[in-house]
Chain A
Amino acid sequence: MNVSDLDDAVLLRHFQGNGLYWQVGPFTVRARCEIPSIARQIAFLYRDHPVVPGPVEVDSDILVTRHRFLPMRVDLLTDGRHRERGLARGLAVPMVAWALNISTFHGLHRYFLLHAAVVERTGRAAVFPGDPGRGKSTLCAALISRGWRLFSDELALIDPIDGHLVAAPRPINLKNNSIPLIREFAPDAVLGPSWGGTLKGTVAHMLPPRLSITHAHIPANPGWLILPAYTPGTRAELRPLSKGNALIKAGRHAFNFGLFGQRGFEVLADLVDHCECYEFVYSDLEEAVAALDALAPQTAMAAAPP
């Protein structure tokens, strides 16, 4: 059963009661929300995700309440410790999406985390490390609307035990100009409403394709490590990168590897070893997708790793 299968009354009862629990890849999320309109908008973003009957153990916990004194404002509490007070209602939904992101960054050290977009085809993962604002979310959104499976727009999860990439598909954060760009590039993509006035400008969320969600339990082998650099006026070009360079550049986006000491280094080195490494300049999305498609000629759909 998915979130969208719940009728409105049941949905609100969960949100306003003990919480709605749903699954995002390996993570269980619990959300409580006092305000029906906001609850429905959160439910829309995660409508294709499987509901989990609660109470169960969770990885992320979100609580949205009305501000005690200011009626048009809300408070957001993440994991019992990060509190945003007095949010304007128009900021609640982007903040919740952002909070779930932060929760994973700070909560889990079960996986090695890279700040990177990850998509998969033919059983292999393409990992795009990059700073925010460098276009990786837009590229990611474009790829998944052309047949690649979404693992994450922001968080590469690497299992230290076997080096596999693990999927946790969730709504992709699109900002400002990316929003009309993706609407044009992928008219069939489902986008949530646009929210203006956030710190990053206008934000909208693209829902992950259903297949990405239903297949989220299938990991992938490392395939390609690609450092994207959106550069206006360039033709799409994959420039091979030496493993040493790739290790250093990817390492800049490693989030919790230092916690694991030497093991962290080994896992990152293994990832780089198993990947074809490139720098990728592009400006036109169609060209970019074509260039990346050429890396993985499609013979079979989403083959599971051995």
Chain B
Amino acid sequence: MRTPPVAAALLSAYLRPESALAFDTTLRNEVMRLAGRWQLLPRLAGRFNDAGLLDRFPEKSRTRLEAALALGRGYERGTLWELNRITRALHDIACPVVVLKGAAYIVAALPAGRGRTLSDIDILVPRDWLPAIERAVLAHGWEHLKADEYDEYYYRHWTHELPPLFHSARGSSLDVHHTILPPLGRLKPEPALLFAAARPVPDTLLSVLCPADMVLHSAAHLFQDGDLGGGVRDLTDLDILLRHFGANEPSFWGHLVPRAESLQLGRPLYYALRYTGRLLETPIPAAVLTAAERHRPGGIVERIMDALVYRALLPPDVDSFHWDMELAHTALLARGHWLKMPLPILARHLTHQLNRRWRAKKKKIERR
């Protein structure tokens, strides 16, 4: 599958920062726009900065990149403060609290946390502690987003979260999970295994997933939940995590596939290794690729996934609205839904969502 030119230029800048200096003005504008859209500017700016290249960009690009660096640092600071406040709210509660995704990369001071923007904080807690935790955060200024009864029902029974929590004063968002994949889905990674291997973060009361589990969670989110909205940025998360742990974590590679199997996440891991390897040139030891082959889907499925993932991730150009991209996104989300819930429940869920969207649209049209 060929990568379209602007996306290819952006990936090239990510992998080999000095290549960006050769872009002409138009290409540079387009790459900046695409990076902006993908929330990749802070990460990209970090790469240029580390390579000592910032000064060699023309003035406006340099300004934009420096601004992106400041934005990344701002997110780091904000996230650490938010986690501080969460810890404070939960300090009476004796259960483990595992930070997930972007916030975890930041609090654990991992390279994947630099230049990482987030929209909310995700934590994993034991299921039995959910009511106590909910009470505690509601008492410290968090509120539930207003939702209708069905949303409440959906969140509490079918998904793996409390309804999202929103802090009225700080405007931040908190998602409390008790599993990393929906409990009704086909794959059931056992939370107890995740907690057992979780690592405390020094100087905090929080933990993060162990390296293999961090990678697997990211892979599951991308390739099982089907949420490729974070797209290439989430793929770069995986790339950075794999490179870092591969180089710094003893026996990381040997442990990865067996761990995936114990968590029933072999298939998402296969996809993760496939697409990071192809798009981001992530160096994966041959032995690991061979072991992951066991979880390779049948030929047709793999070909369909290839087509969907490439189309959903890589726009042919920055400006046009691409129906095939939208369709690919929808198809992957649908697959995610299908993997999340049994068919009769899925049917009911979708009917309700469509009904609600139609009612909202009618209201909008009437108002005009």
Q: Select from chain A the residue with minimum beta-carbon distance to B70.
A: A109
B332 within 8 A of A: no
Contacts of A293 in B (CB 8 A): none
A159 within 8 A of B: no
Flag A240-268 by CB within 8 Å of B: 1 or 0 each.
00000000000000000011110000000
Contacts of B319 in A (CB 8 A): 63, 77, 80
Tell me the B residues contacting A by CB distance below 8 Å: 25-26, 28-30, 33-34, 36-37, 58-61, 63-64, 66-68, 70-71, 73-74, 77-78, 318-319, 321, 368
Given the complex of chains A and B, what is the CA–CA distance between A115 and B61 in angstroms? 25
A73 within 8 A of B: no
Interface residues in A255-295 by Cβ distance below 8 A to B read 258-261
Beta-carbon contact of B26 and A55 below 8 Å: yes
Count residues of A near B (Cβ-Cβ below 8 Å): 28
Q: Select from chain A the residue with minimum beta-carbon distance to B28.
A: A57
Shortest Cβ gap from A89 to chain B (Å):
13
Beta-carbon contact of B25 and A57 below 8 Å: yes
Query: Given A79-B36, A83-B321, A85-B321, does the pair A57, B74 have CB atoms closer than 8 Å?
Result: no
Given the complex of chains A and B, what is the CA–CA distance between A74 and B74 in angstroms? 36
Contacts of A61 in B (CB 8 A): 29, 33
Contacts of A68 in B (CB 8 A): 321
Given the complex of chains A and B, what is the CA–CA distance between A18 and B319 in angstroms? 12
Given the complex of chains A and B, what is the CA–CA distance between A75 and B320 in angstroms? 10
Contacts of B26 in A (CB 8 A): 18, 55
A28 within 8 A of B: yes
A197 within 8 A of B: yes
Q: How many A-B residue pairs have CB under 8 A?
A: 65
Given the complex of chains A and B, what is the CA–CA distance between A29 and B66 in angstroms? 20
Contacts of A237 in B (CB 8 A): none
Beta-carbon contact of A80 and B37 below 8 Å: yes
Interface residues in A45-72 by Cβ distance below 8 A to B read 55-59, 61, 63, 68
Interface residues in A169-195 by Cβ distance below 8 A to B read none
Shortest Cβ gap from B317 to chain A (Å):
10
Given the complex of chains A and B, what is the CA–CA distance between A238 and B37 in angstroms? 45
Beta-carbon contact of B60 and A59 below 8 Å: yes
Q: Which of the residues A18, A75, A107, A259 comes within 8 Å of B74, measured between beta carbons?
A: A259
Q: Which of the residues B29, B78, B318, B368 comes within 8 Å of A57, measured between beta carbons?
A: B29
Given the complex of chains A and B, what is the CA–CA distance between A81 and B318 in angstroms? 9
Given the complex of chains A and B, what is the CA–CA distance between A85 and B321 in angstroms? 10
Given the complex of chains A and B, what is the CA–CA distance between A239 and B221 in angstroms? 56
Shortest Cβ gap from A275 to chain B (Å):
25
Shortest Cβ gap from A228 to chain B (Å):
25
Shortest Cβ gap from A17 to chain B (Å):
12
Given the complex of chains A and B, what is the CA–CA distance between A6 and B77 in angstroms? 48
- Interface hub of A28, A58, A83, A197 (most chain B Cβ within 10 A): A58
Shortest Cβ gap from B155 to chain A (Å):
28
A200 within 8 A of B: no
Beta-carbon contact of A80 and B78 below 8 Å: no
A108 within 8 A of B: yes
Q: Which of the residues B64, B70, B321 comes within 8 Å of A260, measured between beta carbons?
A: B70
Contacts of A63 in B (CB 8 A): 319
Beta-carbon contact of A58 and B60 below 8 Å: yes
Contacts of A109 in B (CB 8 A): 67-68, 70-71
Shortest Cβ gap from B33 to chain A (Å):
3
Contacts of B73 in A (CB 8 A): 259, 261
Shortest Cβ gap from B121 to chain A (Å):
16
Beta-carbon contact of B67 and A57 below 8 Å: no
